[in-house]
């Protein structure tokens, strides 16, 4: 996901934007891990079905 720029906003908003970006990064990481596990599960299911 694209990062939100925090250069042109007051400090309190900058902190909020920084926290939002951290949450977005965590979400991206969790999504990628979920996809990897789902792919692994699909390979197991295909191997068992074959």
Give domain limits for the chain.
22-50
> What is the Cβ-side half-sphere exposure of residue 8, based on CA atoms within 13 angstroms?
2
- Please give the chain's pLDDT, 50 residues, in tens: 566 665 655 678 888 889 999 999 999 999 999 999 999 999 999 999 98
Q: How far apart are CA 8 and CA 25, in angstroms?
A: 21
Any alpha helices (H) in 1-50, and if so which ranges? 11-49
Question: Sign of torsion, CA 14 17 23 28?
Answer: negative
Which pLDDT value is given to residue 32?
95
What is the reported pLDDT for 10?
67
Measure the CA–CA gap between 17 and 4, rounded to whole angstroms: 7
């Amino acid at each position: 996901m694209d990062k939100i720029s925090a250069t042109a906003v007051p400090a309190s908003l900058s902190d909020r934007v920084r926290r939002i970006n951290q949450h977005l990064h965590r979400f991206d990481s969790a999504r990628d891990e979920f996809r990897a596990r789902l792919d692994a599960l699909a390979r197991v299911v295909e191997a068992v079905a074959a």
